[in-house]
Copies of this chain bind each other. A is one copy, B any other.
């Protein structure tokens, strides 16, 4: 086995975020469940956008956020995901590439030539910092096994996939293709459960994948309870151990995280943070964790890096870092 040429290869839905502050009343009026990610069609995307307040646009996508944060910490990162050849797709690709991330996926044709547009996620941030997401998948639905860059997967120490990829069917297939290649190459496979409702939509597939293919599992408390259909964090920890997952990082918001490595649980305190917008908190945590993981740092230290990265992104609107993460981690 040759040395990997990438630390992390992320695979996910390539999405541009439209982020707006909103009162809880707007969520109620639109039938939105606070904290949830739901999928919407073009009509609903237009109608919700008209009802939203002024926004900021920022490259997003769960795994892409993780890649951006990990690269900002100094990891060697690649990303696979499908944008369209349109204005938002240009923004998305720019933000990855200038972050030093290898991004080989060919874009879908421009919508003026009949392609689907770049995906967007309408994010409503309530005064408590909670984000509620409505995603129009657009071009992401055309991402499939043919977009899996085999050499990239073989050359990456960790292939990291977001659970949201279970939503578009062709991507779910690509997901399994990538995992099989990574395993065959003797590399590690990491998965984030992404969202408790997404887990609910695809529970059997998630359960099967985690038990059979995942070396590293990322989940928040709601997600891991939903995965194993248990009602306590302790029962979830027990299920993680039973599944024989090598490493699991279970986040608990302001209560920090618990890192399970080789069956042993390491509790990690949360980094101090001012909560402005929780969008991307889990993505950033996974980035910090993986950047420390590929450096061979001990389990609790991986959790600490995750916490510091998460604290940075929840301190401002948007899921991509705005401060110097290397400095925050003392990496000079």
Residues of B contacting A88 with CB < 8 Å? 87
State in angstroms the CA–CA spacing of A53 and B94 once bound together.
8
Q: Across the two chains, which residue of chain B brings its CB closest to A51?
A: B98
Chain B residue contacts of A316, Cβ below 8 A:
316-317
Nearest-Cβ distance from residue A328 to partner chain B, whole angstroms: 14
A-B pairs, top 7 by smallest CB distance, nearest first, are A57-B57, A54-B95, A87-B87, A56-B58, A112-B112, A54-B99, A56-B56
Interface size class of A (residues with CB under 8 A): 20 to 34
Within 8 A of B (CB), among A142-186: none
Is A50 part of the binding interface, using a Cβ–Cβ cutoff of 8 Å?
A: yes
Is A86 close to B, CB under 8 A?
yes
Q: Which of A60-104 contact B (CB under 8 A)?
A: 68, 86-88, 91, 94-96, 98-99
A316 to B56, CA, bound (A): 12
Known: A55-B91, A56-B320, A57-B91. 13 other contacts (CB 8 A): A21-B322, A49-B94, A50-B98, A51-B98, A53-B98, A53-B99, A54-B68, A54-B96, A54-B320, A55-B95, A56-B56, A86-B87, A316-B317
Q: Is A251 an interface residue (CB 8 A)?
A: no
Who on chain B is nearest to A72 by CB? Answer: B54
19 CB contacts below 8 A, A to B, read A18-B91, A21-B322, A50-B94, A51-B98, A52-B98, A53-B99, A54-B95, A54-B96, A54-B98, A55-B91, A55-B94, A55-B95, A56-B56, A56-B57, A56-B58, A56-B320, A57-B57, A87-B88, A317-B322
- List residues of chain A with CB under 8 Å of any chain B CB: 18, 21, 49-59, 68, 86-88, 91, 94-96, 98-99, 112, 316-318, 320, 322
- Assembly CA distance A71 to B99 (angstroms): 36
A191 CA to B183 CA, complexed, in Å: 65
In the complex, residue of chain B having the shortest beta-carbon distance to the beta carbon of A99: B54
A55, B49: Cα distance in complex, Å: 21
Q: Which residue of B lies closest to A277 (CB)?
A: B322
Residues of B near A56 (CB, < 8 A) are 56-58, 318, 320
CA distance A322 to B98 in the complex (A): 27
**Interchain nearest-CB distance for A110 vs B (Å):** 9
For A57, the chain B residues whose CB sits under 8 A away are 56-58, 91
Q: How far is the CA of A55 from the CA of B68 in the complex (A)?
A: 12
* B59 pairs with A54, CB closer than 8 A: yes
Q: How far is the CA of A318 from the CA of B322 in the complex (A)?
A: 12
